[in-house]
Amino acid sequence: MTPHLIVSYLTSRAGGPGSGKGTQCANIVEHFGYTHLSAGDLLRAEAQSGSKNGTMIENMMSEGVIVPSEITIKLLEKAMLENENDKFLIDGFPRNEENRAAFESITGIEPEFVLFFDCSEEEMERRLLTRNQGRVDDNIDTIRKRFKVFLESSLDVINYYNSKGKVKKIDAGKPAGEVFEAVKAVFAPIR
């Protein structure tokens, strides 16, 4: 059976970190029964594992650069295979066109749709600097690098899926409850 795959982008014209992705993914899991797979969480867990790849991942993340596709895809694929659910919500991946093409080629899976959450860069920066989760990538220099990476590479992924009619755009600058009302409207037809 082919899994139902939703790629979640809570992002904006200027980048995506800090748009409330974790909050909305938790709501989607609770209300619609999807398994949430965060590429960032999987990478951070691998970085803390002490493995050879873990050290490289930690160094790349602290610099705000994208981890090689093969590594992230292997972590995502492993997580999917270890889960009994066939409905997955993946966030934070693909980050660029090469990630997208590699994921679809290796797994044979294309998402049903892509959530694109629009939020101003100023609001995302404010959220990141106040969330205080102790993450190595939540500092002003890395945050701004992440915004730049989005503009240079992730927007191509959004444009690709938009050309296929798969992008669902939601205003993420509103309060979380209002954002989730818009999310529910997107998910309702596929329940």
Q: What is the pLDDT of residues 79-88, one digit of tens each?
A: 998 988 888 8
Fold of 4-190: Rossmann fold (3.40.50)
Looking at every residue in the chain, the average pLDDT score rounds to 79
Res. 132: pLDDT tops 90: no
Query: Which pTM was predicted?
Result: 0.74
Res. 144: pLDDT tops 80: no
Q: Which residues are annotated as a binding site for a ribonucleoside 5'-phosphate?
A: 44, 65-67, 92-95, 135, 146
pLDDT higher at 145 or 27 = 27
Pair 119, 19: CB distance under 8 Å: yes
Residue length of the chain: 191
Q: What is the pLDDT of residue 12?
A: 30
- How far, CA to CA in Å, does 51 sit from each of 44, 57, 61, 130, 141? 12, 10, 15, 31, 27
First to last CA, the chain: 17
Q: What whole-number distance in Å separates Cα of residue 45 and Cα of residue 17? A: 18
Tens digit of each residue's pLDDT (9 = 90 or more) over 59-74: 888 887 778 999 999 9
* Residue found by looking up tokens 């994921």 in the block: 103
> Beta-carbon neighbour count of residue 3 at 10 Å?
17
Res. 3: pLDDT tops 70: no
Return the DSSP state at 65.
Answer: -
Residue 38: strand pairing partners: 91
SS3 148: helix
CA-closest candidate to residue 120, choices 128, 132, 108: 128
Res. 119: pLDDT tops 80: no
**Tokens matching residue 99:** 């990630």
Q: How confident is the model at residue 163 (pLDDT cuts 50, 70, 90)?
A: very high
Q: How confident is the model at residue 162 (pLDDT cuts 50, 70, 90)?
A: very high
Res. 102: pLDDT tops 90: yes
CA-closest candidate to residue 16, choices 184, 151, 180: 151
Q: Which residues are annotated as a binding site?
A: 18-23, 44, 65-67, 92-95, 99, 131, 135, 146, 174
Q: Which residues are annotated as a binding site for CMP?
A: 99
**What residues does each domain of the chain span?**
4-190
Q: What is the pLDDT of residue 5?
A: 58
Pair 104, 110: CB distance under 8 Å: yes
Q: Which residues are annotated as a binding site for ATP?
A: 18-23, 131, 174
